[in-house]
Amino acid sequence: MTVKNAYLSYGSKEAPVKVEVFLNLACPYCATFYAIAEEVLTPYINDGKVEFVVKHFDKPRAMLLNGALINTFLHYSEKNRTREIIKELFATQKEWSHLTDHEIKKMLQKKYDLIERSENTSISLKILGETIERHITMVPTIFINHKEFQYPRELDADELRYEIEHQLSKE
């Protein structure tokens, strides 16, 4: 199974379990899920059992606009560095979520040496199109081998681990 729009993909494309997450960096629920995913999925990713695909949903909602702005700065071709930046941005979300556009741009340039990337608009539009095709309206929305989990149904670490193990047992 190939995952569509896998611009930020971690792990083997041949992994038997595909975990896709549609998220927004300004969403506190996404921050919670991402921290859980990093903890639970990393060993599976390292063992070639899980491919973890992060899809930033630039959802047009006032509280998520800072996340959409940040997404325009992410360097998709430097996936590992981007993964670390995403982890840090989620961990510090409360510190930057109230900043203005100008302050966020300044923070991204100064702290991470990031610049606005025009190619990210195309990526954002492709992911937006996918959210329409798949009827995704909320973040985070998670798919584990096509099984959907959508906010407000949150996955905790034990449930995520269970779902991965359940999918692996089908192999």
- Read out DSSP for 110-146? HHH-----THHHHHHHHHHHHHHHTT--SSSEEEETT
Give the three-class secondary structure for 84.
helix
17-23: strand order across its sheet: 8-10, 50-56, 17-23, 141-144, 147-150
Q: Which residues contact 10 (CB under 8 A, 6 or more apart)?
A: 45, 51, 52, 53, 54, 79, 83
Q: Would you say residue 2 lies in a domain?
A: no
Q: Is the pLDDT of residue 127 over 90?
A: yes
Provide the pLDDT for residue 170: 87
Q: Would you say residue 111 lies in a domain?
A: yes
Q: Would you say residue 95 lies in a domain?
A: yes
Element (H, E) at 150: strand 147-150
- The tens digit of pLDDT for each residue in 8-56 reads 999 999 999 999 999 999 999 999 999 999 999 999 999 999 999 999 9
**Residue 132 and residue 62 in contact, taking contact as beta carbons nearer than 8 Å:** no
Q: Is the pLDDT of residue 126 over 80?
A: yes
Provide the pLDDT for residue 77: 95
AA identity, residue 147 = K
Q: Would you say residue 54 lies in a domain?
A: yes
User: What is the number of structural domains in the chain?
Assistant: 1
When pLDDT is cut at 50, 70 and 90, the band that residue 155 belongs to is confident
- The tens digit of pLDDT for each residue in 47-101 reads 999 999 999 999 989 999 999 999 999 999 999 999 999 999 999 999 999 999 9
Q: Would you say residue 3 lies in a domain?
A: no
Q: Would you say residue 1 lies in a domain?
A: no
CB burial class (10 A; 0-12, 13-18, 19+) of residue 151? middle
Peptide bond into 140 cis (omega under 30): yes
Both structure tokens of 154: 């949150």
Distance CA 165, CA 169 (A): 6
CATH number at residue 121: 3.40.30.10
Range of the domain at 36: 8-169
Q: Would you say residue 122 lies in a domain?
A: yes
**Is this model's pTM higher than 0.85 or not?**
yes
Q: Would you say residue 31 lies in a domain?
A: yes
Provide the pLDDT for residue 51: 98
φ/ψ (deg, to 5) at 154: -100, 145
